[in-house]
Structure 1
Amino acid sequence: MTSSTADHTGLRAELDALTTEAFRPEFADIDRRSTLDIARTMNGEDAAVPAAVAAQLPRIAAAIDATAERMARGGRLVYAGAGTAGRLGVLDASECPPTFNTDPAEVLGLIAGGPPAMVTAVEGAEDSKDLAAEDLTAIRLTGQDTVVGISASGRTPYAIGAVEHARALGALTIGLSCNAGSALAAAAEHGIEVVVGPELLTGSTRLKAGTAQKLVLNMLSTITMIRLGKTYGNLMVDVRATNDKLRARSRRIVALATGAAEPEIEAALAATNGEVKNAILTLLGKVDGPTAALLLEKSHGHLRDALEAAGNH
């Protein structure tokens, strides 16, 4: 047996042991069913995902609190994964600047093989721990940062390598996988294993596993940003108005937060260079634009704290 054959045999045995790769004999006739029946079956499979996420909520919450603490001190949030997992990380990271007005360098998504891998498979990229270390070195990762390795199988070398390299530097590490007892969770300080079970299409982990990863990443970024004061109640007060829809949303958010009339809202936004949070503070705290900016700076961007300070101003 050649070394290549032995490698493939070993990998096959490894995959055979993974829940995410298990074969579902009850779906062996799926291609002969009606389209509506297949859709109902898929929908039923997807319905099990939230419960699998719920089982990991204490671990998710602990990871979020640790992440928020690092980010409050200036650390970054970095996702690292290959294939679907990497794409989901890049997606979540790319949504943070428009939603929470974060700097593009504050939340980053790294995918094995680089940007081309977003749309085209890059052969062999996921198999390299060294590539993950190189990618983290390229962004000058420090011990202040948080790295989230993402892998449905929990065995992807790129994701494990990212976590191992980050942990060696003293960075906070989170391992998100969809198999119990995964190497990725073991390598990370915070292991999150959302076990969704075998897929409708054997091994197609862009399905339930991908949905589970998306739900957890939604929580990681959104709740971290809530903890960092990027919202006021459930309003996106740090939204960046970069197009007509977001400009209209900005005005609606100010209206919902303050109950002010349209002319007052326009005046407040004009006085604060369109910054929603600042505009709300001028209206509710009855301060001018420069004072609002100063109060928010002193409160590290937390609008509730700034409002309290404005009342004592």
Structure 2
Amino acid sequence: MKRIIIAILIGLLVPPPAVFGANCGGVVPCVCGDTVTSDYTLAGDLACTNAGNALNVGANNITIDLAGRTISGDDTNTVVGIDNNGFTGITILNGIIRDTTTSGTDMRGASTGVISDVTCTSTGNQGFQNQGTANFVYTNIVGTDNVDDGFSMHDDSVATIITGTFSGNDQGINIIANSNLTGSNIVLSGNTTTSFYPTASTGGLTASLDTLSADTPVNLDAGVVTITGLTSTEGGVQIGTATVTIVDFAITATTARALDQVGAATSQLSRGTITGAVDTNGAVIGCAAGTLHLSQIDATGSAAGRQSILVTGGTLTAD
């Protein structure tokens, strides 16, 4: 009888295991795997090892304040830091999300809202993902050391980035399909393959950026792209089949042509400098296809006795 009583008392002292997947928010604390259904401020770091997502958005018009704390996965089980599939009026603030297997934040479906002062780092895919028909404003965000992209857009999604830094990823910003990106004050540094990559357009991809700096290649593969205030050091700019307007720029390359139009693009560059490495022909600017118009351009860096501009196809005009 004494042994039974002691066993019962010991059992009462052991807390029950956390139940993942419950609703939380407000005065109800959130644990890994929960669904946030009302405003919630994180009370401490959230270190997750559960399968699925660290937190799921489960209601419209709510704020998730990370309060300077960190949501982390285990690089194996936890898929997304904060996942939102279709809820609107969502605000996510002030913290770090890291070590998930795919995304730090995934805004998808017809979701809308604001993400501000958030860093997504060391994920297995992209730091920030905006997909479906999501429409979000991102302010003062950082995407760093992610396996694929610092920031990724898919499908018919819309995003505005107001001050963003993306570094140490494979690609800084990757835009696909019919996505529409508007941005300002964007810094892209130390990304392995390319800094800015609008690609695989299905007819409606657009990007309009004001003040963009990059130190690895800017690859304008597809869509309608407008950049005002571009500073490109090291990697230069390559243009595929996009419709491109670049105004007020300084493009420099140390290992390739500074400006190279390789596809059937329609491009206009005005008020800028193009400086840097040359190919075997001595060219700093190359045009192989499409239409390239240069206005008020200063191009330097070709080898002595060689041309700065090499046209092998398409049409190049200058004034």
Shorter chain as normaliser: what TM range? under 0.3
Higher relative contact order (CA 8 A, sep 6+): 1
Greater share of strand: 2
Greater share of helix: 1
User: Which has the greater radius of gyration?
Assistant: 2
TM-score calculated relative to the size of structure 2: 0.24
TM-score calculated relative to the size of structure 1: 0.24
